[in-house]
A and B are shown apart, each in its own frame.
Chain A
Amino acid sequence: MIKKRAYFKTRSLPYLLILPQIVITVTFFYWPAVQGLLASFQVSDPFGFRSRFVWFDNFITLFSDPLYLKSMLTTLIFSGSVAVVSITCGLFLATMANRVLRFTTLTRTLLIWPYAIAPAISGILWLFLLHPSYGVVSISLENWFGLDWNPLLESSHAMLLIVMASAWKNISYNFVFFLAGLQAVPHSLIEAAAMDGASPFRRFWAITFPMLSPTMFFVTVMTIIFSFFESFGVIHAVTQGGPGGSTNILVYKVYQDGFIGLNLGSSSAQSIVLMLLIVLITTLQFKYVERKVQYTG
């Protein structure tokens, strides 16, 4: 932790200043987290009248439940696809915008707005585009390729729909970061490589891409966290986990089991697993970012 040397010497003021943050954090973070942890070790009846301490039973049940394992796999496929689609498109567009150099602000303006759109609304827009009877994309697919497209009934089509709706929203976010990362690559390096006769493609893969790796790492982590949680809106508004549980990702399952199924023990255990996953990802990121800081001095 970096420290400043110049401090104010007031005694009680700093406590007063940090108090609101601590109160809110303890009330809405630590207390619920502890309650969640306790609940994950208990089994209670659906009305919450009685509960019994069962140690790790909820977790054992969870990890031997094929539905939960399926949900994990679904989440993995979903997050992976969202990351690949939105990062590839974001990086591609940023590289193009960085080559043009002119109209950067205009390009950014035209590409940035999906960021502002709620995941649920993005889901609704894509549902309309891909709607089996009214969507322009599904009709074109049917007319041109004879593909019977129906995301409301077909699992893989539903998955594609939520991947598109979530990735689309994230392209803008990734674009902004990649463009900033590209603009920070020293011009002299590129020029030197060009003088040595390296083609634009060679320069991209040999210089720009490795120099973008911290941005790449950050963007990947953010995209994964986004697809873990914020895509809840897409799924709730469009597929509701269906058809047949094919889009039932972990966060939606926590909601479904806890608030619809009222299985508090299992839902809490699922929350704890999710939390551990995120802590793991975040720790990795911080380790990586710290290393980056050391390298660049």
Chain B
Amino acid sequence: MMVEKTPILDTFTYFALIFGILVVGFPILYAVIAATLPIEDVSRVPMSMIPGDQLFNNIAEAWGRGNLDTQLLNSFIMASGITFGKIIVSLFGAFSIVYFDYRLRPLAFATVFCTLMLPIEVRILPTYEMAANIFGPLQSVWDALGLDGIISWFARHDVEVTLEFSLLDSYAGLILPLTASATCTFLFRQFFLTIPEELCEAAKMDGASPMTFFWRILLPLSKTNIAALVVIEFVYGWNQYLWPLLITTNPKMTTAVIGLHHLLPSPEDPPDWHIAMAGALIVMLPPILVVLCMQRWFVKGLVEKEK
């Protein structure tokens, strides 16, 4: 805010800002340069700051060594699955909570919003067991009711029913547990509450059904919020670490962020930092592109999350 003339402070401001941008950008710049160098240059101490011409060779090498095509595909499926799953589930959920009055509404509201801010990391172990056998709760109910005994009596011989369906090493296992979050629902609820009630009244007067109102009025109005959440949730999904680490044991099912780990040179290996950096660049590119391309909505959505 240039209220008065302060030339010294202004010069300082510009320098500080440029310096800050350089410092924040430096790790990325350094990685980009390292990814263009051959191994002799990257392991020279200190590393040359002039880019080399090996970028595409290094990328190809990282791609092959890290098996990135499978992993990037997995990351993409997981990130989009989480994004769309969360947004669709929470759009309907918020619509139900804001626009209907039903007896169990307070209960539904409390059930969903108690989970706000409690990430999957605090309950990894039991969630893992849950994913290992999604029918676990049904099995408990089954056993508690002693249904085995009843069936055995009917069948006239011993029957043991085991309900088992594992989500380990599957896309459903990567996606579903991470969609259990109230943040999106909370955001949509906040947004729906700001929409003038006259719209809903008018729609009702015109004889529109609730779903017509949802598709024709509510959804178009929510476009900006949806766009912002697409960015936030895609970045969130792509960058997941702990959950995919636990739930996938088959290398064909790991995600790119986790697979990157294998490109890191260990002390016994040749110092292939150029390959590791090339791999890191590939893996971080998709979320960066999404954020940069949709920056306007993203910032709007991010800031609105606070309210």
**Which residues of A does B touch, CB under 8 Å?**
1-2, 4-8, 10-11, 13-15, 17-18, 20-22, 24-33, 35-36, 39, 89, 92-93, 96-101, 105, 107-122, 124-129, 131, 133-134, 136, 139-140, 168, 171-173, 176-177, 180, 187, 190-191, 194, 200, 215, 218, 225, 228-230, 232-233, 236-237, 251, 254-255, 258-259, 264, 267-268, 271, 274-275, 278-279, 282
Contact = CB atoms under 8 A, between A and B. Distances in A.
6 contacts: A4-B197, A15-B102, A39-B126, A115-B291, A275-B118, A278-B122
A255 B295 contact: no
Nearest to B184: A21
B253 interface: no
Given A35-B129, A271-B122, A279-B118, A200 B177 contact: no
A29 B27 contact: no
B241 A136 contact: no
A28 B130 contact: yes
Chain B at the A interface: SS class: helix
A118 B284 contact: yes
A295 to B, nearest CB: 14
B119 interface: yes
A108 B241 contact: no
B281 to A, nearest CB: 9
A134 B271 contact: yes
A273 to B, nearest CB: 9
Given A233-B239, A271-B124, A125 B28 contact: yes
B299 A108 contact: yes
Interface in B229-244: 235, 238-239, 241-242
Instruction: State the 7 A-B residue pairs at the shortest beta-carbon distance, nearest first.
Output: A32-B126, A14-B100, A233-B241, A118-B239, A17-B96, A21-B93, A35-B126
B291 A112 contact: yes
A96 B193 contact: no
B1 to A, nearest CB: 5
Given A92-B16, A136-B30, A112 B292 contact: yes
B20 A89 contact: yes
Interface string B242-254: 1001100000000
B223 interface: no
Interface stretch (B55-63, B108-116, B152-160): B108-116
A24 B180 contact: yes
A32 B167 CA distance: 15
B176 A28 contact: yes
Contacts of A33: 123, 126
Contacts of A237: 241, 260-261, 264
Contact of B117 (A14, A29, A225): A225
A120 B241 contact: yes
A139 B43 CA distance: 12
A187 B2 CA distance: 10
Contact of A4 (B99, B185, B260): B99
B202 to A, nearest CB: 9
Contact of B17 (A107, A251, A271): A107
Interface string B41-82: 011011100000000000000000000000000000000000
